[in-house]
Amino acid sequence: MSNIYSLFHERTKSGTDFILDAGGDTVATYMDLETRSARYANRLAGLGLVKGDRVMVQVEKSVESLFLYFACLRAGLIYLPLNTAYQRSELEYFIDNSSPMLIVCAPNSEMLFTSICGAAANIKKFDIQTLDGDGEGSINNNLGHEVDTFTDQPCDKRDIAAILYTSGTTGQPKGAMISHGNLEANATTLHKTWGFTPGDLLLHALPIFHVHGLFVATHLAVLNASPIIFLPKFDAMEITRLLPDASVYMGVPTNYTRLLANPEFGTDTCRNIRLFTAGSAPLLPHTFDEFRRRTGHTIVERYGMTETGMNTSNPLEGVKKAGTVGLPLKGVSCKIIDSAGKTLGANETGTLLVKGPNVFSGYWQLPEKTREEFTDDGYFRTGDLACRDEEGYISIVGRGKDLIITGGFNVYPREVEKVIDKMHGVDESAIIGLPHGDYGEAVTAIVVRSEGSDIDEPTIIQHLKSTLANFKVAKQVLFVDTLPRNTMGKVQKNVLREQFGQ
């Protein structure tokens, strides 16, 4: 049996401090992780939850939310974290699709979730508990009365530990089922690949509702029994101040561009850091080069997906190539194929496929879609276009399905287009990603007005803000008379990117 928490428990026996605040004071120890997660696990059991039930969580980042996550692992429950920016229409879909038995939300969202539950007859009723950014809420009221020991639920490597929603080709999000075995394989491989040792201290400023902040950063620190300086969000000045106390920092490219914009950030700031990693979006070569020039450190870029965790990484020791995501991790097989399925050689561009113990088992309640996304020999179709050089380093050169990655978050154009296309005064729209120095890509709306319409940019942007998570909202709206199409009538987004990308 392989409940991943059992591995964490063994590794953290020697640990002392778990969570530190920005002042360096101890907020929680590894003993607290053991006892608090046990109390939460007992609380969840007391609410009637059993192995395999879904627990949907949309809360601000806090130490208590980490304890709740580890409790779900221990109890064999399926943890379903949601971006705090998601709006009602998105939440309705997630609830309908996953049928959670419990929702833990911010106190000011309790009425919203109650309303969703009451308004939809087809949505199974669920329990609602609260947890705020300070770690207070109904989920932990009188938690001290719960027993501080818990017998972890036996789990097979194939048992689902979490469901994370990711954009789909139709714009409808899909729930990627991540197993205990997937998490263990990725964590143990990265721990060795990135050379974690006793004495490491992680500076954590990532959200914990996605793979990067929760499964990569947090898991690796816990696996190493390392202290974590736990910040609620990224702030360039605060990161610059705290970096001298840390040895490991993980960020998205936007974080690094903002650090470089701070004149106080430099070599002395990074004097104790042994590892900088970047992921969730492409790191521009000029950011890579400028960071090395300013600090003397080389960022380790890697490549992963919601469905797979990490697949590749530049080496900790050895050549780190700008513009590449490095080499396949141990146990991960990568191949690049053409449209006919033929495996391509060096410097040939095609679709990247991956296979390994880190790769998810499929999409929640979408067996046909799952079958489509895997080859007969078990490779997952990433949808990314890639090439491999003579030394085996992989570069991601484009994305199939027109996925946009902005500030480390995935945006699928069709979801945004549907919202704009329903607006009075809009004939049709196309969403593309254009290069952006801070976000990597900026969500951009190309809109064809209806005849006689005078709908403008502020109106469209305000409507998007009231409907979708903020990271999906277009940064700009451009108006055209017609959208370019091929002979099959498909909008040629590559033409739009070329036209407006200048």
Instruction: Work out the angle between the directed axes of helices 285-295 and 253-260 (0-180°, nearest 10).
Output: 50
Residues of the chain with pLDDT under 70: 1, 120-125, 167-171, 398-401, 486-490
Q: Would you say how long the chain is, in residues?
A: 502
Q: Exposed, middle or buried: residue 28 (CB in 10 Å: 0-12, 13-18, 19+)?
A: buried
Number of domains within the chain: 2
Is residue 57 in some structural domain?
A: yes
Question: Domain range holding 414?
Answer: 403-500
CATH classification at residue 410: 3.30.300.30
Provide the 3-class DSSP secondary structure of residue 453. coil
Q: What is the C-alpha separation between 497 and 481, in angstroms, rounded? A: 16
The per-residue pLDDT for 323 is 84
Residue 1: the pLDDT is: 59
Picking from 155, 184, 205, the residue at the C-terminal end of a domain is: 155
Q: Check residue 393 and report its DSSP letter.
A: -
User: What pLDDT, in 10s, does the model give residues 190-212?
Assistant: 999 999 999 999 999 999 999 99
pLDDT at 468: 94
* CA-to-CA dists, residue 176 to 22, 117, 166, 211, angstroms: 34, 23, 7, 11
Residue among 401, 382, 294, 297 at smallest CA distance from 337: 382
Domain boundary among 155, 187, 210: 155
Residue among 482, 408, 406 at smallest CA distance from 444: 406
Q: Residue 212 falls within a domain, yes or no?
A: no
CATH at residue 72: 3.40.50.980
Q: How far from the centroid of its chain's Cα atoms is residue 201's Cα?
A: 22
Instruction: Supply the pTM of this predicted model.
Output: 0.86
Q: Which of 126, 11, 128, 150 is nearest to 67 (CA)?
A: 150
Helix locations, 243-389, DSSP H: 253-260, 285-295, 367-373
Residue 340 belongs to some domain of the structure: no
Q: What is the pLDDT of residue 315?
A: 95
Does 278 map to a domain?
A: no
| Domain end (from 155, 173, 204) | 155
Q: 18 by DSSP, 3-state: which?
A: strand
Q: What is the DSSP string of 61-80?
A: --HHHHHHHHHHHHHT-EEE
**Residue 268, in any domain of the structure:** no
In a domain, residue 181? The reply is no
Phi first, then psi: give them for residue 459, nearest 5 degrees: -65, -45
Distance (Å, whole) CA 255 – CA 272: 19
| Dihedral pair phi/psi, residue 234, rounded to 5° | -80, 130
Residue 217, token pair as written in the block: 């950063």
Residue 254 lies in a domain: no
Give a yes or no: residue 186 inside a domain.
no
Question: φ, ψ for residue 14 (rounded to 5)?
Answer: -90, -5
The confidence score (pLDDT) of residue 488 equals: 45
For 422-475, the pLDDT digits (tens) are: 899 998 899 999 999 888 899 999 999 988 999 999 999 999 999 999 999 999
Region of 314 please: left (phi>0), alpha (psi -120 to 50) or beta: beta
